[in-house]
Amino acid sequence: MAHSTRYAHPFLPTTRADMQARGWEQCDIIIVTGDAYVDHPAFGPVLIARFLEGRGFKVGLIAQPDWHSAEPFKALGAPRMFFGVAAGNLDSMLNRLTAQKKNRSEDQYSPAGRTNCRPDRATIVYAQRCREAFPEVPIILGGIEASLRRIAHYDYWSEKVRRSILFDAKADMLVFGMGERPIMEVADRMRRGERIQDIRDVRGTAYLINDEEMRTHEADPARRAVDRKTVVLPSYEQVIEDKRAFAVMSRDFQMETNPGNARALAQRHGNRAIFMNPPALPLEDGVGTTGAEGTSVAMDELYDLPFNRVPHPMYQERIPAYETVKHSIVLMRGCFGGCTFCSITEHEGRVIQSRSAESVLREVRALRRMGDFRGTITDLGGPTANMYKLKCKSEDIEKRCRKLSCVHPGVCENLQTDHGPLISLMQDVRKEDGVKHVFIASGVRYDLAELSPEYVKELAAHHVGGQLSVAPEHVSPRVLEKMKKPGIESFERFQQMFACASEEAGKEQYDIPYFISGHPGSTLEDMVELALWLKQNGKRPRQVQDFIPTPMAMATAMYFTGLDPLKMEPVYTAQGLREKRLQKALLLYWNPEQWPLAREALKQAGREDLIGRGPHALVPPETPAEAARRQRAERDTDEGASAPRQAQAPRGGGRSRPSRPGGPRAR
């Protein structure tokens, strides 16, 4: 293998020549991913591939194949056991389209940031091509796209309720959540001779069942009782026709996400159904012990796998996502925040799974050996910067708890919030030879941080490069309640603590708050309140998130149904791209490009008093030149509307086939 001599570890085989160099006639497992092949633990499909390789399987990788035919999926031949198919680190639709449904200018996970290197709904397309290439080979779906589309779900980009992805992909199994435990058990059992259709009891997996099997679950007289073994969700047909049924489905699904007490789920789709086992148990913190079945997996094991931490040498161009993470270190996974707009809990779990300090320090030393490392660790964190080692005070309480958040409406009395282990680790990383700077780029959970003044002082003194990211998201109590975020008072207390700690450290530093516009519950009046708060506090946010309804999030259910699934009460939602733009414009009130939309929003909200030049105004009045431009645009629009139009194809009649990327593919 020509490229193996330049790196510490052989890359996973991507060609027949690579297989021959290892003396392989056939792979056991082939992973297909929509991302470029970066041999780094931050790339989920590659992490799974390396993990399976470490367990003794012959694993090959097909990265960003041309999906227009089955030929690229034959590159490594037929795997002996199964294809593992993933769209990549992001849902492929979210990866391509913005909240305004416009094409993104860059794909962070492709060489040179090129777009159109993967198809829309990549998991479905890749699975179909694998089936076309080798009809008899089992297919297992995984990754975040499959995980968050495992039940009937609202798809923002087509504005439809779509059925479980398993039906459209025609796959044999779906692994949801972080897949190390379930995929290891499935692979091990197949290696011992079991057929995939007989493997039905693995936690963290889903599969299709027939009408007769579904009837046994529907006939369970206790299916609505607390002790029922399987929760029957409203059917696909019901949630299409009845938005209240969709809200009930979302609520019932959320209630079964704690692996300590979650029950199996089943959902009918016509004369078939999807059956989901309870979520996989979390990985063990630090170093685990292998049980009788060999199923124990620890966080440390994953990051001790033989990664080269660089893109495959077949790429000559930079891969933007790699540039972001190459000098960063993940400490933990999971989140117990329960924010309704976020899908971390549904995918990574609500139980925090942490690495040992020793494992983190080993990775720091590996970073030091990289030729381009200059002493700066760009991020020491995870989904949240400061949940490392935080957990419930009692395993028994944690297993029985059915709350969806440990920090809303307030921090749970059973949650251990000691930041001591994290502070100690931050200090140890700074002491490592060759390390000059250690930054915290992950978002800080400020309602937890304010409980630890020592952490805030450590953060301000050593780990902020002038700006600190925090995410209060909104100021309106009504909107924050729908988000399941703490009141703005908590952020203001943290803000004061951070400012004092920075002054004490002799540093001029600023917090950079993130906000969401267009979130369910947020009206134009609420956005005016937020804009006024921003102006009063001297904030001019440059990065504003326009709410995107991602599959299976609770806020997405609110957006689609107009109901809060937890309370089954009506909730206002900005519908239509125009109103979403108006809400976003109010957050960017200081930007002259947004003034026309901001004025329109203020007029609709009945707050024309905020249009002016006084100290209390948000935007200045329209100038004569602006009025002339607006009138010309309105006149052109009216003339265009009255002109005869050519016949157009009906919208939504079929899925368009994305064009192939221009130029040669990086191979």
pLDDT one-digit tens code per residue, 441-450: 988 999 999 9
> What is the per-residue pLDDT for 653?
33
Question: Which alpha helices (DSSP H) does 326-402 contain, by range?
Answer: 344-348, 357-368, 395-400
31 and 126 assigned to the same domain = yes
pLDDT digits (tens, 9 = 90+) for 266-296: 999 999 999 999 999 998 766 554 443 444 5
Answer whether residue 458 is part of any domain: yes
C-alpha triplet 390, 393, 398: angle, nearest 5°: 90
Secondary structure tally for the chain: helices H, strands E: 25, 26
> What is the per-residue pLDDT for 623?
86
The 3-state secondary structure of 500-568 reads: HHHHHCCCCCEEEEEEEECCCCCCHHHHHHHHHHHHHCCCCCCCEEECCCCCCCHHHHHHHHCEECCCC
Answer whether residue 115 is part of any domain: yes
Sorting pLDDT into bands at 50, 70 and 90, what band is 49?
very high
Most confident of 129-133, 297-301, 332-336, 627-631: 129-133
155 and 256 assigned to the same domain = no
Which domain range does residue 369 map to? Answer: 284-289+320-516
The CATH number of the domain holding residue 81 is 3.40.50.280
Quote the CA–CA distance of 249 and 236 in Å, as a whole number.
Answer: 10
Sorting pLDDT into bands at 50, 70 and 90, what band is 542?
confident
Quote the CA–CA distance of 408 and 247 in Å, as a whole number.
Answer: 21
pLDDT at 426 over 90: yes
Question: Which alpha helices (DSSP H) does 344-442 contain, by range?
Answer: 344-348, 357-368, 395-400, 420-431
> What is the per-residue pLDDT for 120?
97
pLDDT at 201 over 80: yes
pLDDT digits (tens, 9 = 90+) for 169-187: 999 999 999 999 999 999 9
> What is the per-residue pLDDT for 287?
58
- Residue of 584, 605, 609, 580 lying closest to 594 (CA atoms): 584
Most confident of 2-16, 48-62, 273-287, 532-546: 48-62
pLDDT digits (tens, 9 = 90+) for 67-96: 999 999 999 999 999 999 999 999 999 999
146 and 212 assigned to the same domain = no
pLDDT at 135 over 80: yes
Q: Which of 171, 202, 233 represents a domain boundary (last residue)?
A: 202
Which amino acid appears at position 664 of this protein?
Answer: P
Answer whether residue 295 is part of any domain: no
448 and 382 assigned to the same domain = yes
435 and 463 assigned to the same domain = yes
Answer whether residue 193 is part of any domain: yes
Quote the CA–CA distance of 60 and 21 in Å, as a whole number.
Answer: 13
Residues with Cβ < 8 Å from 98, sequence gap 6 or more?
Answer: 104, 546, 548
pLDDT at 4 over 60: no
578 and 591 assigned to the same domain = yes
194 and 236 assigned to the same domain = no
pLDDT at 646 over 70: no
> What is the per-residue pLDDT for 89?
95
Answer whether residue 300 is part of any domain: no
> What is the per-residue pLDDT for 638?
63
Quote the CA–CA distance of 199 and 248 in Å, as a whole number.
Answer: 30
C-alpha triplet 617, 619, 620: angle, nearest 5°: 95
Quote the CA–CA distance of 26 and 179 in Å, as a whole number.
Answer: 24
362 and 213 assigned to the same domain = no
Quote the CA–CA distance of 553 and 344 in Å, as a whole number.
Answer: 9
Our count of domains for the chain comes to 4
Quote the CA–CA distance of 408 and 337 in Å, as a whole number.
Answer: 7
Mean pLDDT, residues 428-448: 95
pLDDT digits (tens, 9 = 90+) for 474-533: 999 999 999 999 999 999 999 999 999 999 999 999 998 999 999 999 999 999 999 999
Answer whether residue 613 is part of any domain: yes
Q: Which of 202, 230, 255 represents a domain boundary (last residue)?
A: 202
599 and 452 assigned to the same domain = no
CB distance 173 to 209 below 8 Å: no
> What is the per-residue pLDDT for 229?
87
578 and 512 assigned to the same domain = no
Answer whether residue 651 is part of any domain: no
> What is the per-residue pLDDT for 544?
84
Answer whether residue 657 is part of any domain: no
197 and 219 assigned to the same domain = no
- Residue of 409, 568, 393 lying closest to 401 (CA atoms): 393
Residue 232 bridge partners (DSSP):
266
Residue 269 bridge partners (DSSP):
272
Mean pLDDT, residues 643-657: 37
Residues with Cβ < 8 Å from 427, sequence gap 6 or more?
Answer: 458
Q: Which of 616, 631, 646 represents a domain boundary (last residue)?
A: 631
445 and 328 assigned to the same domain = yes
